[in-house]
Amino acid sequence: MGNVSYYSAEGLKKLKEELNHLRDIERPKASQAIGEARDKGDLSENAEYDAAKEAQGLLEMRIAKMEETLANARLIDESQLDTSKVLVLSTVKLKNQNNGMVMQYTLVAESEADLKSGKISVSSPIGKGLLGKKVGEVAEITVPNGTLKFEILEISRA
């Protein structure tokens, strides 16, 4: 049984689109490449055929893995999210007590994490340290170069 992972509607849509692209476009292309390589003759010394077969195998593994991810994906009902504590899809305004800087992060599923746009994974050290905290609490997060202390100023929904 795979791990259940939670997605926003947008994240789930992207996952489905990528899977459909692999199944509907990449899979037929891989079969076609094998067919073309096979038509070129002697399979025992046909490197193109071997490469095409290997590429197809890797593609099938990716498709299977994505199908499993999708089977275990759960949509987060954004209207049900509690803003009294930090959860997946919470947007958290934090004050770094070490330097007084105020930052804002949104906690998302690992596959949707993107630091540049302020989306951090719930399974990252900071994400884990913030989960379940309430406004006014201080999250102490151990990172390789010490301990960060973040005061939670505000929690809202993504």
Reported as a single tens digit per residue, the pLDDT across 111-151 is: 888 888 889 988 888 888 888 889 999 999 888 888 889 99
> CA-CA distance, 89 to 78, in Å (whole number)?
8
Is 88 in the same domain as 153?
Answer: yes
Quick one: pLDDT band at residue 1, thresholds 50, 70, 90? very low
Instruction: Report the predicted TM-score, pTM, of the whole model to 2 decimal places.
Output: 0.52
Where residue 43 sits, what CATH number does that domain have?
Answer: 1.10.287.180
Question: Cβ of 5: how many Cβ atoms within 10 Å?
Answer: 19
Q: Which domain holds residue 133?
A: 78-157
Is 84 in the same domain as 151?
Answer: yes
